[in-house]
Amino acid sequence: MQSYVFNLGTGAAAVRAFDVPADLFVYESGVPTPTSGDTRIKVKPNTGAEIVLRPGQRFRLAPGSNATHWEVSTLDPAVTLTGYIIIGSGEFDDANTLNKFTLDATFANNVKVTNTTAERVPVTLDTTQSLGINNTTANRVPVTLDPAQVLNIAGTTVQYTNSFSDSVVTTLTNAVVFSAAANANGAYVEFAEVSAVLTTNGAYTCTLVAKATAPASDVDGDVIMITSAGGQNALGPLTQINDRLGYRVKIPAGKGLWLNQNNGANFGAKKTVLYTLL
């Protein structure tokens, strides 16, 4: 990359050629005679189209293209122009003009960059349309959750609001966990367990049943969980059972939940149910 001085006169002297292999042309400066004359020049490389430049402007050929001959001429043949150009390859930046821009004289008095108080544009906000960002009671948005849609994402943690437990064993008897009237909006059985020790002959059956009215048998209604075992005689080994409900079950509204026991009046059993009424 090299800087060249040029002198462009009138007539035939208004054109000058530079035989320099390059892809970058920079018009650094130009002084016209008369001083009010046009400082623009025309640049025509032997590859590519002719372009008009003002002082401080530059152009680069298309990537991969190089010119070996550059013709420089005045835009006004009646003006004598003296100045500097740079021709070569690579990059060129003027530290005096870097990060600055200059407006052409045709924009004089048309563009004004200012930040004075008198010239700022006032903006009035409509407070009725503004959004208050605060956490006061008046500005909070009430949210009503549908408990039927709430997901219990708690891993192995059991959440419940009601419980039932007893150890009474009475043949063919229904123990009421909750009634149909109490279940107005549905319910979830969160946990249920039956634990029994059978020491005499016989059989023990306990079912967790959902039904609007008391079940007439251990399979009368929606059977949620069933526990059944046979007992040994007093001299034989003990039979122990411990059954749990392994998943959450939703009971429809209008149905009660019952523990129905069939036989096993002399056996010891413990029943536990944890549930949530919606």
From first to last of its 278 residues, what are the pLDDT tens digits of the chain? 788 999 998 876 788 999 999 999 999 999 999 988 999 999 999 988 899 999 989 888 888 888 999 999 998 888 999 999 999 887 766 556 556 656 566 666 666 677 787 777 777 777 776 665 677 777 777 877 776 665 555 555 667 777 777 766 566 677 888 889 999 999 888 888 877 766 666 666 778 889 899 888 878 888 888 777 665 554 445 556 667 777 788 889 999 988 877 765 545 667 788 888 88
Nearest Cα to Cα of residue 207 among 194, 197, 188, 189: 194
Q: Domain residues of the chain, as ranges?
A: 2-107, 162-277
pLDDT tens sequence across 108-143: 666 667 778 777 777 777 777 666 567 777 777 787
**Domains 2-107 and 162-277 equal at CATH topology level:** yes
Q: Residue 189 has which token pair? A: 């059985």
- pTM of this structure: 0.40
Domain 162-277: CATH class, spelled out: mainly beta
pLDDT of residue 235: 47
Q: What is the DSSP string of the chain?
A: -EEEEEEE-SGGGGEEEE---BSEEEEEEEEEESTTS---EEEEESSS--EEE-TT-EEEPPTT--BS-EEEEESSTT-EEEEEEEEESS----TTTTT-----GGGTTT------GGGS------TTTPPP----GGGPPP----TTT-----TT----SEEEEE----TTEEEEEE-TTT-SS-EEEEEEEEEEEE-SSEEEEEEEEEESS--SSTTSSEEEEEEEEEEPPTTS--EEEEEE--S-EEEPTT-EEEEEEES-TTSEEEEEEEEEE-
pLDDT of residue 48: 81
CATH number among 2.60.120, 3.40.50, 2.160.20, 2.40.50, domain 2-107:
2.60.120
pLDDT of residue 44: 94
